[in-house]
Amino acid sequence: MTKDEMTYLKGIVRNIPDFPVPGVQFKDLTTLFKDPKALKMLEQAMLELYQGKGVTKVVGIESRGFIGGSMLAVHLGAGFVPVRKPGKLPAETIKKSYAKEYGTDTIEIHSDAITPDDIVVIHDDLLATGGTMLAAYELVKSMNPKKVYINFICGLEFLHGRDVLPQDVEVTTLFDF
């Protein structure tokens, strides 16, 4: 991704003060998704990161991770696996609870979603404190895939979310605030 593309993307991210709770400056990435030029830039940048790495599954975290994750899976010829809130997946699941910047939550994945032969990219839109991604990583890792990559559209560096993620896993963000 070029510096001009990064500047363009950062420039259209909308800030929502005091959402979902007072004191949080929410970075609304839906402004990227509704802009065709931005969406194409995101698609190309993610594809460049993972093309040729043998990715067989892309795991997207509910709900905005479904957007970029699905795009990436299609272009890589990989399967897409959703990670969802409890009670949303119809078959047998495994779950993980975690702390996030303004409370606690739980996520689930189908227990048969990942195999030991898989090379996985776990994708979400935003890296804040890292709690959601760490929980998703632990769920995926419990299924013993060959390799796991972690990807975000953007990161909030001041929250140090990378610090909670495993040091031996490649973690990428397309841009950071």
Report the relative pairing of strands 103-110 and 93-100 from DSSP bridges. Answer: antiparallel
Phi, psi (rounded to 5 degrees) for 46: -70, -40
Please, are residues 154 and 125 in contact by the beta-carbon 8 Å criterion?
A: yes
| Catalytic site residue from 5, 62, 84, 101 | 101
Q: Answer yes or no: 101 catalytic.
A: yes
C-alpha span between 129 and 164 (Å, rounded): 8
Q: What angle do CA 153, 154, 160 make, to 5 degrees?
A: 135
Read off the tokens for 120: 């996985």
Tell me the two tokens of residue 25: 């400056």
Q: Which residue carries 């709690």 as its tokens?
A: 131
Task: Centre a 10 Å sphere on the Cβ of residue 176 and count the other Cβ atoms it contains.
Answer: 14
Exactly one of 5, 64, 84, 108 is catalytic; name it: 64
| 20 Cβ contact partners less than 8 Å away, ≥ 6 residues apart | 26, 102
Q: Give me the active site residues, please.
A: 64, 101
